[in-house]
Structures are given as structure tokens and as C-alpha cells.
Amino acid sequence: AASDSHADLLFVTSTAAQVAYPGGGGYNAAKAAESMLVSALRLELNGEPLRVVEIAPGMVYTEEFTLNRVGGDRERAAAVYEGVQHPLTAEDVADVIGYALEAPGHVNLDLVTMRPVAQSAQHLLARGPLRPRLP
């Protein structure tokens, strides 16, 4: 009988791997390279009991990352999230990682792109309260 055991290779990339943005060239390139590595590994390891998972978060509120990205300017870092209702948190990303690793062994989440509801795309961010549009 075949064994149900498997191992997991899980990578956290970014939506920056999927869509470029001004000022993000180095980060875009690094995350795109990581994403391609994940895709190549998945192909090269085909037939082995390995799940190769990529989690690609969009806007995640982490003070350290944004502060570093804007050169330590706390005011600029705060402005990134200003008015954004419920950006993702590190805990949100950890929950998705946990689910990916706890899913049944035959289920592989190749790519999970996750964003806050306020971020429809890399370049489209709603600021202010989220609300239904009235007809």
C-alpha cells in the first residue's frame, strides 16, 4: 500500500511577484524570482510526496516592513495604511499558512493570493469605510 506521508515546501512571496509597481523594482524582481523558483520546484519534484505551496500576500500591516521600505520615516509608513479598513495582519497570513499545511495530504495549494478586501489589485486600494453602493 502507498504511504500517505508527505512533506511540505512552503514559500511566502508577495503580490509584488505578480504585478510591478513604481519604486518596487528590486522587491518586485526578488519576489518574482522566488515565485519562479517555487513553480520550477513544483515541476521538478513531480511524482514525489511533496507539496510545494506559495502564499502571496498583498497589503499586510507590519510596521517593521513598511518602516524599512520608507527609510525609517514613521510618518510616511503610517500614511501607507491611513484610512485602509482592515489591512491584512501577520496573523491572517499565519492562518492561511496553517491551513495550507494542515490540509489533507493529497491537497496542494499551489498559489494562494490573499489581499485585504480594501485592496482589489496592487494599484487599487480603497481608503475609508467599506460600504455597499446604493443603486
Q: Give the active site residue among 27, 61, 81, 99.
A: 27
Residue 76 contacts by C-beta under 8 Å, 6 or more apart in sequence? Answer: 70
Amino acid at 44: E
In angstroms, the Cα distances linking 57 to 7, 11, 32, 85, 114 are 23, 11, 13, 16, 5
27 is catalytic: yes
- Exposure string over 36-49, b if 16+ CB within 10 A, otherwise e: eebeeebeeeeeee
Q: Residue 61 belongs to what H/E stretch?
A: strand 60-61
Q: Which residues are catalytic?
A: 27
